[in-house]
Amino acid sequence: MSGSGPGPQTSWEDLANLGWFRQQVYNACNARRGGTMEGMQDIALNETFAHDWSWFSYNVLIGEPRIKLQAFEANWTETWTNSTSASLSITNHSSISLSQSITIMNVATSEFAMTIATDSTREETRTTTDELSTSWGITVQGGETVHVERVRTAINGRAIYEQEFGLNLQALVANALKGMRLNDVLVTPPPRGRRMLRGLHTQESFVFRIVRISPDGRRRVEPLPPPEGIIPPAVMSEKCGAKYPKMVPGLEKK
């Protein structure tokens, strides 16, 4: 066997799993040589005279991951923290050996870049959470009731990625006279496969708004500045020109 290369050395079994059996490889090589080859002994793959001439073929990833976008909707349970998480997993596994890893930037539109080994069988996950608090100065007009409402925003994203794999660009198969590039010889179909990855992204955050209810029951909603944290819902009232804020306990802080 040769020394280090860009990946595991290609075997005849690998080529068969990529759709090219040994006889088919021989036929393709013989056609490329104008029918001058005399038998299976005239080709070698990482063995015998291929090894002697250092004509090697390796299994490698090809190109960059390509995102396949899909629409996705989900309902989420309520939480009291701002959080962002992303996960990356391989949904199918290749039929050949690979030793590289795959890196996806901004997994499923999240802020995370994640790397996963090509032979990984588990889900890679990243999560950030923020426990926050904030308060505002709110003017309550005489006779009105003011509610501070929390509005939850949930984002849920999913993306499917394809990672192509096959032989390295300079992969060679040897015959008695010369080495030939396998990627040039094995054209239809090319000796390639695809590994599928799934990325998930969830994010939840909160915005706040004021709901003002006038003495005659009219309701008016006003936005509040983006919060730096989470505060309990509040009900405020003003009677006879004096302000009596009443805080209603919530479950925000645990």
Tokens of 226: 């983006």
Of 147, 69, 159, 73, the residue nearest 112 (C-alpha): 159
- The predicted pLDDT at position 223 comes to 85
Measuring CA to CA, how many Å separate 30 from each of 14, 131, 175, 194? 20, 68, 9, 28
* The pLDDT of residue 3: 52
8 Å CB contact between 7 and 98: yes
Low-confidence ranges of the chain (pLDDT < 50): 1-2, 71-79, 229-254
pLDDT, residue 24, reads 95
Instruction: Return contacts of 214-220, CB within 8 angstroms, 24+ apart.
Output: 214/143, 214/144, 215/143, 215/144
Taking only the tens place, the pLDDT of each residue in 208-254 is 788 888 888 899 998 877 655 444 333 333 333 333 233 333 333 33
Candidates 58, 94, 102, 74; CA nearest to 193 is 94
Determine the pLDDT at residue 56: 94
The pTM for the full model equals: 0.60
